[in-house]
């Protein structure tokens, strides 16, 4: 072991031995790393580290005719012994190894190569321009991608994204942004991945994120049946009245009109003509395109709203010189809950719509009119043969609903529309200007 060196170390080029499993098990290395060349197979190398790891490597010539080595496996006398390593060297295909090292996009069209090398941020850019741009909620969806997803996952290659990448983002967001926002962003990530799968632009690509409905325990009816009873309705109404402002008005108007939150928060002053609200029709948006004659109680709430100068939105805010729909739902709800005289079971703004629809049924409004009031399409052949706009029936249903709510919360009963409605917009601009 000492030939050629005064320190007892054997020169690297002379570290040759006919390898055997017995010799490997007994040999104690003297250097941090030693390479032993097998005399029984000249291209087989045993690399021994000072920590004890013993791995087999194959020696080959690269495309520039330079000598290189490649790991082929770790020595194991039962699973991968010396004879198995020698056979692996004999079976080593240098050309196949070179082909595997070449770029996976070699020979592909530019479009196919782009999809294989694109980052998640690149793919989201395409998804936003080709799909999200047509959404009614496109601004909010794009904001979520740019604020929550791209800073964390944007630089990863899209095809390398795993299920736990999105899962970790959702877990982190639950702490900082709440479970609802975390689940929303997780769903947006899944939507983009499923879109790529459906487009079939990447061969054999399958989205790692699939929709899985939450399992409910037996007897758990979930949150889609929540309605407020009389006592809860009274407490929520009184707290919303005391709170005032835009959120307090939204809560009460949802009970009085039974409309979707989105329809209400995106309403324009130009859509309210006297006592009539013309809900604009939007592609793909449910419950839009109808006309509602509002009861006096709802009109009084609208009149009490402050107006932002030049803002077209009924529930608008000004941010960075731009008018946007009201969106501070979580913060304002916490303020409203603090005004309740006692805690009540969890409820959402959509539960107010469900409560209003239930009350319409309780006070005797017929099923068809009740469904039309809340913007549901008529079922079956009714949709084909009933072409009425239900103008008078809807007005009567909302008037009866407002009278019922007024009775429950202890207000004077609504006597109908005001005697002198505003000519164009419900709230006059004069004396009602403020800045957000």
pLDDT of residue 101: 61
Question: How far apart (Å, rounded) are the C-alpha atoms in residues 189 and 181?
Answer: 13
d(CA 417, CA 333): 30
Q: What does the pLDDT look like over 127-140, one tens digit per residue?
A: 999 999 888 788 89
Query: 317 near 324, Cβ under 8 Å?
Result: yes
Put simply, whether the predicted model's pTM sits higher than 0.85 gets the answer no
- Residue-level pLDDT at 434: 40
More confident residue, 78 or 252: 252
Q: How many CB atoms lie under 10 A from the CB of residue 217?
A: 5
Nearest to 238 by CA among 350, 355, 337, 363: 337
Q: Hey, what are 23's tokens?
A: 């010799």
* In contact, 54 and 46? CB cutoff 8 Å: yes
Res 154 pLDDT > 60: yes
β-pair partners for 28: none
**pLDDT, position 427:** 44
The answer to whether the beta carbons of residues 429 and 307 sit under 8 Å apart is yes
> 287: pLDDT confidence band, cut at 50, 70 and 90?
low
Region of poorest pLDDT, from 6-20, 26-40, 215-229: 215-229
Say what the pLDDT of residue 5 is. Answer: 52
Q: State both tokens at 62.
A: 């690269």
Average pLDDT over residues 199-207: 87
pLDDT in tens, 73-87: 999 998 899 999 999
Spatial separation of the C-alpha atoms in residues 148 and 181, rounded to whole Å: 10
pLDDT value at 63 more than 80 = no
pLDDT for 194: 92
% of the chain residues with pLDDT over 70: 84
The predicted pLDDT at position 109 comes to 75
Question: For the segment 381-432, what is each residue's pLDDT rounded down to a tens digit?
Answer: 887 788 787 889 999 999 999 999 999 999 876 544 444 444 344 444 343 4
Residue with tokens 């007024």: 406
């Amino acid at each position: 072991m000492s030939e050629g060196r005064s320190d007892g170390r054997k020169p690297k080029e002379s570290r040759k031995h006919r390898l055997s499993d017995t010799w490997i098990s007994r040999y104690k290395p003297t250097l941090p790393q030693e390479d032993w060349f097998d005399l029984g197979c000249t291209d087989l190398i045993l690399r021994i580290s000072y920590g004890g790891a013993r791995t087999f490597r194959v020696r080959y010539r690269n495309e520039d005719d330079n000598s290189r080595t490649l790991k082929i496996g770790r020595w194991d006398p039962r699973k991968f012994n010396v004879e198995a390593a020698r056979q692996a060297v004999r079976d080593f295909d240098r050309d196949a190894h070179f082909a595997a090292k070449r770029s996976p996009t070699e020979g592909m069209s530019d479009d196919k190569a782009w999809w294989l090398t694109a980052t998640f941020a690149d793919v989201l850019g395409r998804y936003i321009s080709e799909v999200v741009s047509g959404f009614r909620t496109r601004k909010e969806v794009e904001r979520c991608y740019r604020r929550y997803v791209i800073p964390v996952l944007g630089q990863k290659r899209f095809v390398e994204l795993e299920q736990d990448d999105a899962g970790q983002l959702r877990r982190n967001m639950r702490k900082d942004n709440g479970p609802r926002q975390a689940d929303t962003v997780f769903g947006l990530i899944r939507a983009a991945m499923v879109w790529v799968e459906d487009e079939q632009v990447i061969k054999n690509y399958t989205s790692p994120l699939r929709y899985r409905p939450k399992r409910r325990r037996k007897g758990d009816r979930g949150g889609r049946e929540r309605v407020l009873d009389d006592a809860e309705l009274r407490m929520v109404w009184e707290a919303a009245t005391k709170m005032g402002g835009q959120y307090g008005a939204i809560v009460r108007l949802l009970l009085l009109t039974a409309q979707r939150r989105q329809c209400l928060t995106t309403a324009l002053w130009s859509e309210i003509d006297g006592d009539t609200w013309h809900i604009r029709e939007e592609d793909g948006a449910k419950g839009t395109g109808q006309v509602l004659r509002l009861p006096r109680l709802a009109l009084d709430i609208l009149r009490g709203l402050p107006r932002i100068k030049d803002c077209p939105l009924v529930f608008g805010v000004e941010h960075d010189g731009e008018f946007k729909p009201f969106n501070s739902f979580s913060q304002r709800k916490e303020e409203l809950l603090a005004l309740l005289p006692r805690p009540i079971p969890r409820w959402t703004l959509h539960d107010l719509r469900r409560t209003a629809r239930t009350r319409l049924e309780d006070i005797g409004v017929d099923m068809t009119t009740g469904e039309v009031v809340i913007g549901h399409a008529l079922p079956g052949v009714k949709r084909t043969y009933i072409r009425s706009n239900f103008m008078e029936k809807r007005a009567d249903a909302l008037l009866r609903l407002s009278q019922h709510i007024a009775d429950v919360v202890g207000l004077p009963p609504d006597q109908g529309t005001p005697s002198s409605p505003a000519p164009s917009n419900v709230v006059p601009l004069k004396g009602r200007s403020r800045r957000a």
